[in-house]
């Protein structure tokens, strides 16, 4: 989804210089010659923790709450001015620390995850730092009044709501053992996404 939301920002941005820098985010995730891309590295992490590639690609295990939160982010970016869309990516300021923590601690907690599983986190360390630099440049250049700075904080609160909603859905399903429809059935009956039209 991340490359699609970045493509939506590009589509809304009339400034070629900004597009030239922002397009790197699509390439980082989708890959290009000489770089397998973040999605491929993420699939490697999924496989390293025991999931099958086709299960990951089918999205059948994506919880509805996670799907709705992710869709809300994509829709926000598609309809917002591109500068506001750029600001909404700035939660990534804190992602390198999270990635580094995972690289430092997961090998102790989960010794069965093979080395290949960590490619995504290693890759994101430098990419996220560079992305945040660009995002901050945009935010600082447009948020020149208190009202605009307050607006930027509200945008970031929206993005935090997206991230927390994903965590809430995952916590309910896997930590508290309350997946969707748990009072009705133990089958994963929730919809599998409506992306692919039959026509």
Ligand X SMILES: O=C(O)c1cc(C(=O)O)c2c(n1)C(=O)C(=O)c1cc(C(=O)O)[nH]c1-2
Which is nearer to ligand X, 35 or 178 (by Cβ)?
35
Q: Judged by CB under 6 A, does residue 92 bind ligand X?
A: yes
Nearest-approach distance from CB 73 to ligand X, in angstroms: 7
Residue 130 makes CB contacts below 8 A (sequence gap 6+) with 24
Tell the smallest beta-carbon distance from residue 109 to ligand X (Å).
16
User: Of 94 and 181, which has the nearer Cβ to ligand X?
Assistant: 94
Site string for ligand X, 72-91 (x = CB under 6 A): -----------------x-x
* Cα–Cα dist 73/75, whole Å: 5
Q: Does 40 bind ligand X (CB under 6 A)?
A: no
Quickly list H helices, 49-188: 53-58, 64-79, 82-87, 95-109, 119-142, 146-170
Q: Which residue number, 12 or 91, has a Cβ lying nearer to ligand X? A: 91
Q: How far is CA 144 from CA 92, 139, 149, 151, 159, in A?
A: 22, 9, 7, 11, 21
Cα torsion through 116, 167, 78, 27, rounded to 10: -10
Report if residue 18 touches ligand X, rule: CB under 6 A.
no
- For position 24 contacting ligand X by CB under 6 A, the verdict is no
In the complex, the residues that contact ligand X under the rule CB under 6 A are 2, 89, 91-92, 95, 98, 124
């Amino acid at each position: 989804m991340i490359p699609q939301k970045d493509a939506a920002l590009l589509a809304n941005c009339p400034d070629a210089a900004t597009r030239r820098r922002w397009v790197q985010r699509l390439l980082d995730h989708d890959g290009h010659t000489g770089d397998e891309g973040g999605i491929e590295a993420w699939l490697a992490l999924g496989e390293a923790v025991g999931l099958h590639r086709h299960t990951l690609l089918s999205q059948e295990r994506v919880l509805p709450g996670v799907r709705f939160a992710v869709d809300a982010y994509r829709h926000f970016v598609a309809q917002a001015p591109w500068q506001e869309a750029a600001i909404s990516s700035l939660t990534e300021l804190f992602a390198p620390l999270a990635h580094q923590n995972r690289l430092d601690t997961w090998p102790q907690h989960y010794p069965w995850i093979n080395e290949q599983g960590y490619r995504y986190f290693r890759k994101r360390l430098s990419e996220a730092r560079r992305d945040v630099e660009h995002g901050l440049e945009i935010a600082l250049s447009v948020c020149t009044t208190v009202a605009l700075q307050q607006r930027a904080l509200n945008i970031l609160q929206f993005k935090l709501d997206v991230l927390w909603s994903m965590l809430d859905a995952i916590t309910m399903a896997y930590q508290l053992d309350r997946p969707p429809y748990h009072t009705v059935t133990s089958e994963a009956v929730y919809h599998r996404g409506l992306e692919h039209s039959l026509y």
